[in-house]
Amino acid sequence: MNRIGALPKDIKQKNDMEILRSLADLESFTVQDIANRTKISRLTITRALERFMEKGIVVQSGKGNSTSLGGKKPQEYILNPNRYAISIAPSKGKTQCTLMSFDGNEIDMKEFPFPSNMAYPQFIKNAAACIRDLLKDNKIKEEEFYGIVLCSGGIIDPKEGVFTVSSIPEWGNDLHAAEDLRKELGKDYHIESENVSKVCSGMLRFNNDVLGKRVAVMYADYGISITLLEDGKTPDTVNNVNGELGHMCLDPNDEEICVCGSKGCFEVLISQKRIRKMIDALPAKERDLLLKDYDGKEDVRIYLLKKQGEGNAQADRLCEYMSRYIGLAFRNVILAFDPELFVIQGVFSYASKQFFDQVRSVIRENKYLANIDIDIRKESRELSQMLKKGSMNIALCSILEE
């Protein structure tokens, strides 16, 4: 069999991504700074920075300090603070439209209500109005604006900008969201459309902890997703369902029908609705004792996770119930994908070491997995912050991939 090695284009793109990743936490940098971090040759880095400047990703910022031996001062660079993208992300009854600069700063943010009964055409109109206002109010020039990252729930075809299966049943399917938004704006802007869970996982694209690794990212809020990453990126798939592992069947005998139309889905079994139902079924005295410090506003799962290990038997029992289903889900992920790392975002980032030790115990009930190391790490940033960070990373990556 003839084996085809990596093409020059692939190598260049890999180097570009590694160089861009190395800049993520640097306010300014020189060619030597990047070489020290990446071990890539100075010539390759110089050529990459020339491409980055041509695309408006970085700009020169002056001369750095020479070494103790003297000599020519090195050129310093920064991520471009005068190039912009807008993230559009629905979250908990509202949609946030955020203007960000390429150096990671939030410039301005507007939002509009996002009730469950909002019609799709109205969503597009509202998003377009926010985009126009952000660009006008902040005096953003056409040449300074790169484009838009449009997030939504459901199955999304990012290449075509189509909401193939919307998470809002009333919207229907096969919605050409990117095209519809361009028409509403009257501008041929670059628009990246992506699933919310993939945008949240996108915040890890330039994280050195995921460099070269296979990673499973679980996000839990009103739904649950598990997105699989390779080297910080969601691999292209035929049906764009990477991230939809909240719909794996873990209990075929469960009676509740999920929004996907199936029964026994992972996200249903540990949803806030399910946990609330289990609490309501408790004897009144036990229920009142369990909820005596609950304000009714916080996700009840977060409340229980914070109470685990404090001596309330019902809190411990419900946490053990949730950890068991997460363990079963992670067991399936390991057997199918074998990730080196799990990253926990959203509700279950509030869980304790005790909770994740229980998750590991469930995984190791499988004899094939009895002796494996399971690296589980938590990311506690709020959804809105993860969406903003992920959106900017996706915008930067899309420039390199054009």
Domain endpoint, select from 17, 51, 79: 79
CA distance 12 to 4: 16
Residue 153 binned pLDDT confidence (cut-offs 50, 70, 90): confident
Residue 333 binned pLDDT confidence (cut-offs 50, 70, 90): very high
CA distance 2 to 313: 62
Q: CA angle, corner 379, sides to 98 and 299, nearest 5?
A: 80
Residue 123 within a domain: yes
Domain endpoint, select from 79, 96, 118: 79
Both 165 and 178 in one domain: the answer is yes
Domains in the chain, number = 3
Q: How high is the pLDDT of residue 402?
A: 67
Q: How high is the pLDDT of residue 71?
A: 66
In Å, how far are 213, 221, 298, 300, 322 from 279, measured between CA atoms?
A: 39, 19, 15, 10, 13
Q: How high is the pLDDT of residue 307?
A: 97
The half-sphere exposure of 173 on its side-chain side, counting CA atoms within 13 A, is 6
CATH of the domain at 35: 1.10.10.10
CA distance 139 to 143: 12
Residue 96 within a domain: yes
Both 13 and 72 in one domain: the answer is yes
Both 188 and 325 in one domain: the answer is no
Compute the average pLDDT of residues 86-90.
91
Residue 104 within a domain: yes
160-186 pLDDT, tens digit each? 999 999 888 889 899 999 999 999 999
Largest CA distance in the chain: 79
In Å, how far are 232, 374, 395 from 349, measured between CA atoms?
A: 20, 16, 26
Both 359 and 335 in one domain: the answer is yes
Residue 2 within a domain: no
User: Following DSSP, what letter does each residue of 254-312 receive, concatenated?
Assistant: --PBPTTS-BSBHHHHTSHHHHHHHHHTS-HHHHHHHTTT--SSS-HHHHHHHHTTSS-
206-224 pLDDT, tens digit each? 887 787 899 999 999 888 9
Res 70 pLDDT > 60 = no
Both 103 and 135 in one domain: the answer is yes
In Å, how far are 9, 16, 267 from 42, measured between CA atoms?
A: 19, 13, 48
| Residue 325 φ then ψ, to 5° | -70, -35
| Residue 255 φ then ψ, to 5° | -95, -20
Question: How many Å separate Cα 379 from the centre of its chain?
Answer: 11
Residue 3 within a domain: no
Domain endpoint, select from 79, 109, 131: 79
CA distance 250 to 329: 7
Compute the average pLDDT of residues 136-152.
95
Residue 173 domain boundaries: 84-202+385-401
Residue 262 within a domain: yes
41-53 pLDDT, tens digit each? 999 999 999 999 9
